[in-house]
Amino acid sequence: MRVEPVVKADAYGHGAGQVAGVLAGAGADGLCVATLDEALALRDEGIDLPILVLYPVPPPLARRAAEARVATTAGAGTLLDRLMAATQSWPDGAVLDVHLEVETGLGRGGVPVEAAAGAARRLVASRGIRLAGVWTHLQDPGAPERTAGQLEAFARAARSLAAIGVPVPARHSAASGALVLGNAPADEAVRPGLIAYGIVPDDIGPVDSALAAALRPVMSLRARPVRAVDLPAGHGISYGPTFTTDRRSRIATLPVGYGDGWPRSLSNRAEALVRGVRVPLVGNVAMDGVMADVTDVPGSPVDVDDEFTLLGRQDGDGIGAGDLARSRSTNAWEVVTAMSARLPRVYHATAGVVGIRTLVRGESRWLGSGSGTATSATSTSTRP
């Protein structure tokens, strides 16, 4: 079975080029992305693995995909017609690998089951196209009846291809949810997404506790204060304000805000860890900052040398992506993919720091190699 992890949306916020390199070194058979731009960026990073774009590529760009050895998705309708028309004019034998998506119930894309055979026949007969795969996406792996219905519909589509003599190419339907729940079908490939980053999907219901414990989140978010001061009672904090001190309070300003992917919806609804102690984040989240009330942290007053953990573990306690998701009524996918490019990424392996990525041109570099990597998204005071 081929394992083709999903590295779309900057590898779910972790850094696509760096993560793809680690996955390639770990033996991944291929990668999946959502756009042609993402695929081409990986090629620019030196990633040579097979890449599949999970959405249709604009037909005028199909030739560029073929030249970069990037496979694309096809469904039904106008874009399929235009894709085949585009490849007909290629004079030199260039070939685009195409995976036919089958609509089995997600309601997002693909060709209807009853039209799959006809679409496959057209692709096989089309100049410049090689039918390289057939796939679908499960709507709710935690719902057994719904999932069984989708998988049966997908099997019918595959049988319809075989019935007209179209060789059934690689099939793939299972992503993170099905893999965690253990109901992944025995297809030729799987597409792990969120679990590749050590996070259990938070919308599929209970999973095996041992399996959940074996997954270790890759990303943490840490920051040091740019200011820590004592403020009197009655002092408003941040814009609004929505929080006012009711006593003399020590307030630490962290340079993390909604411009970094720490959303305004977490205003007065989240915590951070400092010295292993949970402290509330108070006041409205600003574009570039959030404030922590550290009044009750034991020991000497918290200062600019203290490290705060907003996502991740510290001294035996932890704040997970699922915890943040529940605080803002979203899911873990959005929490990690929202981390913006201006947060420096620091990559760790057993031997220590192996890479760093920043916005500064020339500052992104890979320092070494390791069997695994952890991403630390760190907000510093090096920006306004």
pLDDT digits (tens, 9 = 90+) for 83-108: 999 999 888 889 999 999 999 999 99
Residue whose C-alpha is closest to residue 153's, from 169, 167, 134, 166: 134
- For residues 137, 139, 144, 149, the Cα torsion angle rounded to the nearest 10 degrees is -70
Domain boundaries, the chain: 2-199, 219-379
Residue whose C-alpha is closest to residue 139's, from 99, 94, 95, 109: 109
What CA–CA distance (Å, rounded) separates 335 from 110?
A: 28
CATH class (in words) of the domain with range 2-199: alpha beta
pLDDT at 217: 95
pLDDT at 381: 40
pLDDT over 80 (residue 321): yes
pLDDT over 80 (residue 137): yes
The answer to whether 347 is a known catalytic residue is: no
For residues 219 and 312, the answer to whether their CB atoms sit within 8 Å is yes
- For residues 31, 35, 37, 40, the Cα torsion angle rounded to the nearest 10 degrees is 30
Mean of the per-residue pLDDT values of the chain: 92
The answer to whether 8 is a known catalytic residue is: yes
Catalytic residue among 8, 197, 258, 347: 8
pLDDT at 143: 93
Catalytic residue among 12, 55, 239, 258: 239
pLDDT at 382: 36
pLDDT at 29: 98
What is the chain's alpha carbon radius of gyration, rounded to the nearest angstrom? 24
User: Which residues does residue 1 pair with via DSSP β-bridges, in sequence order?
Assistant: none
pLDDT over 90 (residue 345): yes
pLDDT at 383: 37
Higher-confidence position of 381 and 52: 52
pLDDT at 225: 98
Mean per-residue pLDDT, 139-161: 95
Instruction: Name the band, by pLDDT with cuts 50, 70 and 90, for residue 266.
Output: very high
CATH class (in words) of the domain with range 219-379: mainly beta
* Triad 64, 69, 75: Cα angle to 5°: 75
pLDDT at 384: 30
pLDDT over 90 (residue 336): yes
pTM (2 d.p.)? 0.92
Mean per-residue pLDDT, 17-24: 95
pLDDT over 90 (residue 298): yes
Mean per-residue pLDDT, 53-68: 96
pLDDT at 364: 64
Q: Which two three-digit tokens encode residue 241?
A: 């304000």
Same fold? 2-199, 219-379: no
Mean per-residue pLDDT, 259-270: 97
pLDDT over 70 (residue 238): yes
Beta strand 170-172 with 129-135 is parallel
pLDDT over 80 (residue 375): no
Q: Which two three-digit tokens encode residue 9?
A: 């949306």
